[in-house]
Amino acid sequence: MIETERLTKRYGDLVAVDDLSFSVGQGEVLGFLGPNGAGKSTTMKMIAGFVTPTEGAARVCGHDLETDPVAAKREIGYLPEGAPCYGEMTPRSFLEFVADIRGLHGSDKSRHLAEVIERLHLDDVLAQPIDTLSKGYKRRVGLAQAILHDPRVLILDEPTDGLDPNQKHEVRALIREISSDKTIIISTHILEEVHAVCSRAIIIAHGRILADDTPAALEARSRHHNAVSLKLSGIPPLDAASALKGLDVVAAIEQGDEGQLRVVPRDGQFILAAVGQLALERGWHVDELQVESGQLDDVFRDITTAGAQEEART
């Protein structure tokens, strides 16, 4: 549904997006992750047909954004970064304008309008100029505009930015709900969001893809994947730590503030059994025991900073 082929965007000497090739199929929700200035927004702008690539091509539902932009844009719902709107319009007149441009008429139009207004809870502000709305409402007007025509492809640049936790939750639920028959790309800074809605994540930095995997597989790259954290009572943490270090499946022990120990496995092995065995043998009193799946934050930091260091060296 979405394909990019060697997509590149240069601004003078600055390479914003560098030779990016990937494709996203129906039913996939792709999370775009990366530090600020990594090229996420530029890539999305190119797929939405706003920025013209320096080299390479983007295709949506088979339509090339450069040779057949109108056909491609018909298939796309796009929420630009910061959700810009016509501030002097009311949400109702703005959504009607978008519906007209999208070619919705009559009962079809009113049905689509009623649906997005209900889904994004816009009923209370329909007659108020968009300029006077809160950030959360503005974002929801932008989202409403993007999903209004029930597009096959959705491109959402930071859809939950500026929303409160409840609204974030609702928007994520909305994305999950409509994702089954659509192709969705979202960009985000919030890693838990990737967990909540994405079936796949691409990490980019300096315009290049550094990782492309499911959120679970990315977490498995964390050194804390399958780590066991435990809290013991009746034994000094240091003694326990040295005993645990004796196990040959253990790579390191990290000590927490309140006496927790985090046992990091060698090569991501499953070590719960070994740790449990040891605790049993030594007769430790275990208060807490937990296997960690790994932190996306760690993976993100590792991958993006490693990329930066490499960059610095070359």
Partner 1 sequence: MRNIGNIFRRELVAYFATPVAYVFIVIFLLLAGAFTFYLGNFYERGQADLSPFFMWHPWLYLFLVPAISMRLWAEERKSGSIELLMTLPIRSSEAVLGKYLAAWCFCGIALTLTFPIWLTVNYLGDPDNGAILAAYLGSLLMAGGFLAIGACISATTRNQVIAFIITVVVCFMILLPGLPFVLGMFSSWAPQAVVDAIASLSFMTHFSSLSRGVIDLRAMIYFGLVIGFWLAANTIVLELRKAD
Residues in contact with partner 1 by the rule CB under 8 A = 11, 45, 48-52, 70-71, 73-74, 76, 78, 80, 82, 84-89, 93, 97-98, 100-103, 129, 145
Residue number with CB closer to partner 1 (85 or 299): 85
Q: Specify the residue, 45 or 225, whose C-beta has the smaller distance to partner 1.
A: 45
Closest by Cα among 215, 210, 156 to 22? 210
Q: Of 230, 215, 216, 221, give the one whose Cα is nearest residue 278.
A: 230
Cβ distance to partner 1 smaller for residue 93 or 295:
93
Strand ranges (DSSP E) for the chain?
Answer: 2-11, 14-24, 29-33, 55-60, 63-64, 76-79, 153-157, 183-187, 200-205, 208-213, 228-233, 250-255, 260-265, 285-291
Q: Which of 225, 227, 160, 165 is nearest to 194 (CA)?
A: 160
CB of 158 vs partner 1, minimal distance in Å: 13
Q: Nearest approach, Cβ of 2 to partner 1 (angstroms)?
A: 14
Least gap, CB of 83 to partner 1 (angstroms): 9
CB of 64 to partner 1, least distance (A): 14
* Amino acid found at 212: D
Strands 200-205 and 208-213: antiparallel
Choice between 73 and 140, CB closer to partner 1: 73
Q: How far is the CB of 100 from partner 1 (least distance, A)?
A: 5
Contact 300, 279 (CB under 8 A): no
Q: How far is the CB of 59 from partner 1 (least distance, A)?
A: 16
Cβ nearer to partner 1, comparing 29 with 155: 155
**Which C-beta is closer to partner 1: that of 52 or that of 242?**
52
Give the contacts of 212 (CB within 8 A, at least 6 positions apart): 22, 200, 201, 202, 203
